Amino acid sequence: MKVRETTLPGVGKKFAITLQSGDELVIVVHITGEREMFLFRPEADEPCAEIFLTDAEAREVALILGGAAYEPTPLHQAELVLRGLVLDWLTVTPNLPLASHSIAELQIRKRTGVSVIAIRRGERIIPNPDPTERLEVGDLLLLVGTGEQMRRFQETFGEGKGL
């Protein structure tokens, strides 16, 4: 995949992405926050599809595409082979020593190397949560780290573990 970025003075930025299929996806991010997306078939001068999104819609779509709004099934864990990273979902249950504590209090990253990159709390998504965010029973956490860091997280915060 090839990405080309162009500044559009007074408008924003344009990103042109050549997809594996040979199609080109063009995304214009306006300074107002609105987004326009155009799909061009190879050798075509006119787009075959156009999508216009508000800033809020674009951010919601980004969460979905990034995997923060949907837990894939049946795969519970996805390994990003080239980068050696593991994404994992964890539901905060009463049996885990996470509930009613902030991310900072738990020192998750310092103790394990794992980062909490999103929280799904009911219908609400909290991307890149602040360290002061308190975890609640029922929260679905999106975690990222290496395989070793994930093992350390499980050893530190798994069932029956204390703070």
Is 124 within a domain?
A: yes
Q: Are residues 33 and 103 in the same domain?
A: no
Q: Are residues 91 and 130 in the same domain?
A: yes
Provide the CATH number for the domain around residue 99.
3.30.70.1450
- pLDDT score of 70 more than 60: no
Q: Are residues 112 and 132 in the same domain?
A: yes
Is 13 within a domain?
A: yes
In this prediction, residue 73 carries a pLDDT of 43
Q: Which stretches within the chain are classed as H helix?
A: 55-66, 103-106, 108-112, 147-157
Domain holding 83, by residue range, is 77-157
Of 66, 92, 112, which residue constitutes the final position of a domain? 66
The closest of 68, 52, 54, 49 to 126, measured between CA atoms, is 68
Domains identified in the chain, total number: 2
Is 139 within a domain?
A: yes
Q: Are residues 40 and 15 in the same domain?
A: yes
Q: Are residues 31 and 96 in the same domain?
A: no
Q: What is the pLDDT of residues 5-52, one digit of tens each?
A: 999 999 999 999 999 899 999 999 999 889 999 999 998 999 999 999
Q: What is the pLDDT of residues 114-151, one digit of tens each?
A: 999 999 998 899 999 999 999 999 999 999 988 889 89
The closest of 68, 88, 67 to 153, measured between CA atoms, is 88
* Helix, strand and coil in the chain, % to nearest 5: 20, 40, 40
